[in-house]
Amino acid sequence: MTKSNSRFLWVLIVGVGLLTSCQKSEQQQTQQKPEQPPAAAPATEAPQPAPEQAAALPEKAATPATEAAKATGDQSVPLDIKLPKPMFVGTPTNIAVPNLEKPLGRPRPPFLAPAGTKNVAFKKPVTGSDEQPIIGELSMITDADKEAGEGSFVELGPLLQYVTIDLKGRNTIYAIVVWHYHKQAVVYHDIIVQVADDKDFVSNVQTVFNNDIDNTSGRGVGKDMSYVETAEGKLIDAKGVQGRYVRLYSRGNTANDLNHYIEVEVYGKAMQ
């Protein structure tokens, strides 16, 4: 073998050795390379529950009237409250009254009560602390006339006054709606609404509304909010209280010391 051939053979052997070494190195690196975690999925909206899961979600909280309907086995239906014509639009911002309710800004939502609930105060007799009103007659408070024009409201004397409606029997009461005077935007003070079994309000007296926050009227401290009069009236959730007589107090308003009533409706069902 010549010297040149020996050199060529040596170069060939070295080259094959280097190639084999590189292949082994690549295989080892491939085997030792750690697996990469999967890329995070892009953010998406929360998945919607399957139909069987949706059925298990909690329902919205039921109103007291709805609970009362369930207790009696009656179906809940919206009260059919007929509203008078509005006399003004919007709510003034210059009424300085503490604990004043903010305007809802939209129509009041329907109030649910057991089927068969009706206005049990219609044409029922009314008495009061001022038996000779300055304007009108007490009987006008339950005559179904809710308009705010002349001849539709009753004006009682100044400071604390009340009216009492005799339902002529015990009723389960779900809601009380009162219209004091909605011809202008005013706030009446110390509105207190009570239900009792007797005309003297001694037996089974229950307070369903009280916004006298400092007990000025001496009927206890109330936690309810004051509100601006509107054509919708004030709907009070009576939560199914039972009684025969309904009494409503007030102590003047932001315009003067007098007290007014246009209409009071009591929605309930006669007890068997």
Helix (H) or strand (E) holding 171: strand 160-179
88 vs 184 pLDDT, higher one: 184
Question: What's the whole-number average pLDDT of the chain?
Answer: 82
pLDDT digits (tens, 9 = 90+) for 207-218: 999 999 999 999
4 vs 250 pLDDT, higher one: 250
Instruction: Tell me the average pLDDT across 134-150.
Output: 97
User: Could you give the CA distance from residue 212 to residue 222 in angstroms, rounded to a whole number?
Assistant: 5
User: Could you give the CA distance from residue 253 to residue 250 in angstroms, rounded to a whole number?
Assistant: 8
pLDDT digits (tens, 9 = 90+) for 17-63: 544 444 444 444 444 443 433 343 343 343 443 433 333 333 333 45
User: Would you state the torsion angle of the CA atoms of residues 156, 161, 167, 170, taken in this order, to the nearest 10 degrees?
Assistant: 180
Q: Decide: 246 and 195 in contact? Cβ < 8 Å.
A: yes
The CATH number of whichever domain residue 188 belongs to comes to 2.60.120.260
Helix (H) or strand (E) holding 78: strand 76-78
What pLDDT is recorded for position 79? 98
Provide the whole-model pTM. 0.74
Report yes or no on 36 lying in a domain.
no
Report yes or no on 28 lying in a domain.
no
Q: What is the count of structural domains for the chain?
A: 1
Q: Which residues of 79-105 are buried (b: 16+ CB within 10 A; e: fewer)?
A: bebeebeebeeebeeeeebeeeeeeee
Q: What are phi and psi of 240, to 5 degrees?
A: 75, 25
Report yes or no on 32 lying in a domain.
no
Range of the domain at 90: 64-270
User: Could you give the CA distance from residue 55 to residue 43 in angstroms, rounded to a whole number?
Assistant: 26
pLDDT at 261 over 60: yes
